[in-house]
Chains A and B, each alone.
Chain A
Amino acid sequence: MITLVLVSLVPFIYAVYLSFHQAKYGRVTDFIWFDNYVTLLTSGTFWNSMYVAGVFVLIAVPVEFMLGMAGALVLNKGVWGRSILVPLLFIPTMMAPIVVGLLWKIMLAGSWGVLSYNIIERFDLVSGTSIFASERYALLALVFIDIWQWTPFMMLAFFAGLQALPQGPYRAAAVDGASQMQIFARLTLPLMAPLLFVIGLLRFIDAFKIFDTIFILTKGGPGTTTESPSLLAYKMTFEFWNIGEASALAVFVWIIFFAVCTVFYHIAKKKLNAF
Chain B
Amino acid sequence: MTAVEFQSVSKRYSAETPLAVANLNLLCREGELLALLGPSGCGKSSTLKMAAGLEDLTEGEILFGGRPVSALSAGRRNIAMVFEDYCLYPNLTIEDNIAFPLSVRGVDKNERRQRVGDVLAMLGLHDIAKRKVTDLSGGAQQRVAIGRAMVRDPDLILFDEPLSHLDGDQRIHLRAEISRLQKTRGITSILVTHDQNEATAMADRIAIMKGGVLQQVDTPARLYARPANTFVANFIGEPPMNLFPGEIGDDAGRITIPMLGEDIVIGDERRHAFAARRHSGLTLGLRPEHLIVEAAGDGAERQANAVVTYREPRGDADSLVLRILRDTSTMVAELAGPCTFRTGDKVRLRVPAANTNLFDSESGVNLEFDT
Q: A171-B54, A182-B104, A186-B104 are in contact. Are A177 and B76 (CB under 8 A)?
A: yes
- A152-187 Cβ-contact flags toward B at 8 Å (1 or 0): 000000000000001011011111111100100011
B141 nearest CB across to chain A (Å): 11
Q: A190 interface residue, CB < 8 Å from B?
A: yes
Out of A168, A187, A193, A273, name the residue touching B85 (CB < 8 Å). Answer: A168
* Residue B101 is within 8 A (CB to CB) of chain A in the complex: yes
Interface residues of B in 105-133 (CB under 8 A from A): 105, 132
Decide: A172 and B83 in contact? CB cutoff 8 A. Answer: yes
Contact among B73, B81, B91 with A172 in the assembled complex (CB-CB below 8 Å): B81
The answer to whether A169 and B89 have CB atoms under 8 Å apart is yes
Residues of A within 8 A of B100 (CB): 173, 176, 178, 186
A168, A179, A182, A186: the one within 8 Å of B87 (CB)? A168
Q: Is the interface of B mostly helix, strand, loop or mixed?
A: loop
Within 8 A of A (CB), among B63-94: 73-76, 78-81, 83, 85-92
> Which chain B residue shows the least CB distance to A175?
B81
Is B148 part of the binding interface, using a Cβ–Cβ cutoff of 8 Å?
yes
CA distance A171 to B89 in the complex (A): 11
> Does B87 contact A169, Cβ atoms closer than 8 Å?
yes
A175 and B75 within 8 A (CB): yes
* Contacting pair B101 A176 (CB below 8 A): yes
Most buried by A among B76, B78, B100: B100
The chain A residue with its CB closest to the CB of B101 is: A176
The answer to whether A201 has its CB under 8 Å from any CB of chain B is no
Given contacts A177-B105, A179-B104, A182-B104, contact A172 B89 (CB under 8 A): yes
Residues of B contacting A169 in the complex (Cβ-Cβ under 8 angstroms): 87-90
C-alpha spacing A12/B91, complex, angstroms: 40
- Tally of chain A residues near chain B (CB < 8 A): 19
Complex: A175 Cα to B75 Cα, angstroms: 5
- Closest CB in chain B relative to A165 CB, distance in Å: 10
Among A176, A177, A187: residue with most chain B CB under 10 A? A176
Complex CA–CA separation, A191 to B90 (angstroms): 8
Cβ of B255 under 8 Å from chain A: no
Confirm or deny: B52 has a beta carbon within 8 angstroms of a beta carbon on chain A. Answer: yes
Determine the residue in chain B with the shortest Cβ distance to A193: B91
CB distance from A120 to the nearest CB of B (A): 46
* Contact in complex: A177, B101 (CB < 8 Å): yes
* A190 in contact with B104 given A172-B83, A175-B80 (CB within 8 Å): no
In Å, the complex CA distance between A273 and B92 comes to: 12
Among residues of B, the one whose C-beta sits closest to the C-beta of A191 is B91
With A176-B100, A176-B101, A177-B76 given, is the CB distance from A168 to B91 under 8 Å?
no
In the complex the two chains form, what is the Cα distance from A179 to B80 in whole Å? 15
Q: Which residue of A lies closest to B89 (CB)?
A: A169
Contacts A179-B104, A182-B104 hold; do A174 and B87 have CB atoms under 8 A apart?
no
| Neighbouring A residues of B88 by C-beta, 8 Å | 168-169, 172
Report which of A166, A178, A191 forms a contact with B104, defined as CB distance below 8 A: A178
A-B contact pairs, 28 of them (CB 8 A): A168-B85, A168-B86, A171-B81, A171-B83, A171-B87, A172-B81, A172-B88, A172-B145, A173-B89, A173-B100, A174-B54, A174-B74, A175-B53, A175-B75, A175-B80, A176-B75, A176-B80, A176-B101, A177-B76, A177-B78, A177-B101, A177-B104, A178-B104, A179-B75, A179-B104, A186-B104, A190-B91, A190-B92
- A171-B81, A171-B83, A273-B132 provided; 16 other pairs, C-beta below 8 A? A169-B89, A169-B90, A172-B89, A172-B148, A173-B89, A174-B54, A174-B74, A175-B53, A175-B80, A176-B75, A177-B101, A177-B105, A187-B89, A190-B92, A191-B90, A193-B91
Q: Lowest 7 CB-CB distances: which A-B pairs, in order? A: A168-B87, A177-B75, A190-B91, A176-B101, A172-B87, A178-B104, A175-B81
